[in-house]
A and B are shown apart, each in its own frame.
Chain A
Amino acid sequence: MLKQIEGSRAVAECVAMCRPNVISAYPITPQTHIVEDLAMIIGQGKLDAEFINVESEFAAGSVVLGASAAGARAYSATSSQGLLLMCEVIYCIAGMRLPIVLTCANRAISAPLSIWNDQQDSMALRDAGWIQLHAEDNQEAADLHIQAFKIAEQTSLPVMVCMDGFILTHAYEPVDIPEPKEVDHFLPPFTPKNIVDPRSPKGIGLFADPRFYLETRYILHRAMEKSEETIKAVSADFAKTFGRNSGGFIKTYKLENADLVIVSMGSVVGTIKELIDRMEEEGKKVGLVQICSYRPFPRHEIYNVLKDKMNIVVLEKSVSLGRGGILASDVRWSFPRAEKKDRNISSFIAGLGGRNIPMDDLRYMVEKVEKEPVELEFLGLKKELISEKDL
């Protein structure tokens, strides 16, 4: 049913319909509404699940790890410092191949303290062996959670669904919430592949000496690469069942005749699409490649759709300090070296710490890269706030 609903509420209702057995989380802005709503849904008797209150995100991660290892469908949600505090467990969950689903309500990282949106938090965990899916709007955020459990359980890989904090989590907009029986049809009950059971004692993720460790990482890497097929299949299956496209690997917008292509991910693509339409009316052909699956990275898809495009600009809400754009590096790596010479791939960092990304700034970015490639620029930087001695 189509509802005018807060993003967090939409996610909570969809997670509940996935019938997790165990939910554990620690409140942190801007993720809090999701787990508050889930706690309420359980409290009202609408979901038969254990909600385990904990003292930290490290504990929340540990609880869902243990629950999943014991055969439960487990879910958690966090943001920013919470995700970083959970970091050690995040790596363990992937190493143990536990199909946990976690929402990252994307938020900036301290210091200085910022409760506002960017994508530095999930980006900091990009190498952990979790599938990372990015939502464009709240419909996709809701839909991705339903897909995430299926992808996780089919691949034995954990899935992080990333949605921009505040911009999506706190936004009211129309979301089509499926019927529980539709979700039941789409997502079969969880059949765990590897259970820790005292009746048949064994351990998982225990100890690998130098004779074995390298292989475990190789296998995990291959599993991440191979999950591409599952992510695509589940997205296609979702489209067939629910009648709308959500998720998948990448999506494109007005790409075919585009002279210049923006690559980005998350909620900012909405503003980008609006800009593309306006520029089209002015006779400019700008296209978009939107990353849905950031990990595994859609390298081949990006190459396939962009191989004839010579002017590309990557816009992202995170930065590798001392290196530059992270998504930009990934996109640059998607093209064979011999082809890179005359292709311009510019890199813009925007929206850090919740800085508004106005359409005018995006227009400035497009007009600038039409003239010359930009190796790295922080969009909307207020030079008046920076003095000589800061640099």
Chain B
Amino acid sequence: MIEIRIHGRGGQGNVAAAELLSIAAFKDGKFAQAFPSFGAERIGAPVMAFVRIDDKKVRTREDVRTPDYLIVQDAFLIETVPVLDGLKPDGLILVNSEKQPEELQLKTTASVETIPATEIALEIIGRPIPNAVMIGAFCTITGLVSLDAVQEAIMGKFPGRVGENNVAALERAHEIMQKR
């Protein structure tokens, strides 16, 4: 079973990112579970969302405490929230940041990847909602969920212009990460 924990702030589409990853994994023929851990639903408040992906039905309901993957949508959270807690030593953390991975100086043996997701989202979507970029980068790095399935999931959840913009952001992230 693969476990993913998403950290972000209310309004960044953390819960939507978890949902989309689970829908995409389902479309890929896997079993998936996604659920949020709200503080209270306020814009800007730290939010967590969890995803589990497996080849069999996911039964456990506990919070994800030892994730294989961390997706951090706001790099500033690393200073205020114990984001790295429980991350597997051979896991991966993807951070929304303009910095290079080593510049973040994270205390972990896990791989660190960065992408300036807010900047890309502002350019393509016109709003500072980094989730589609983060998912695009995540799928490209890990190959855990197919990009096609994510595109389908996005268009299913946000039909029309909003979906198209997010798919464009997803594709841009894919191109950027492929070049690395």
Contacts and interface: CB of A to CB of B under 8 A. Distances in A.
Interface of A: 4, 6, 29, 115, 137, 164, 166-167, 170-174, 267-268, 270-271, 273-274, 356-359
Contacts of A172: 18-19, 22-23, 32-35
Nearest to B15: A170
A271 B35 contact: no
Contact of B61 (A6, A29, A115, A271): A271
B59 A270 contact: yes
A356 B19 contact: no
Contacts of A270: 59-61
A167 B61 contact: yes
Contact of A170 (B27, B36, B63): B36
Contacts of B40: 115
A273 B57 CA distance: 12
B35 A171 contact: yes
Contact of A173 (B27, B38, B58, B62): B58
Interface string B27-52: 10001111110101100000000000
Interface of B is mostly: mixed
A227 B146 CA distance: 49
A100 to B, nearest CB: 29
A271 B23 contact: no
Nearest to B51: A172
Contacts of A358: 62-63, 65
Contacts of B35: 166-167, 170-172
Contacts of A359: 60, 62
Contacts of B31: 173-174
Interface string B50-75: 00000001111111010000000000
A6 B57 CA distance: 16
Contacts of A174: 26, 31-32, 57
Q: List the 7 closest pairs (A to B, CB-CB), nearest first.
A: A4-B26, A270-B59, A171-B35, A172-B34, A356-B63, A274-B60, A172-B22
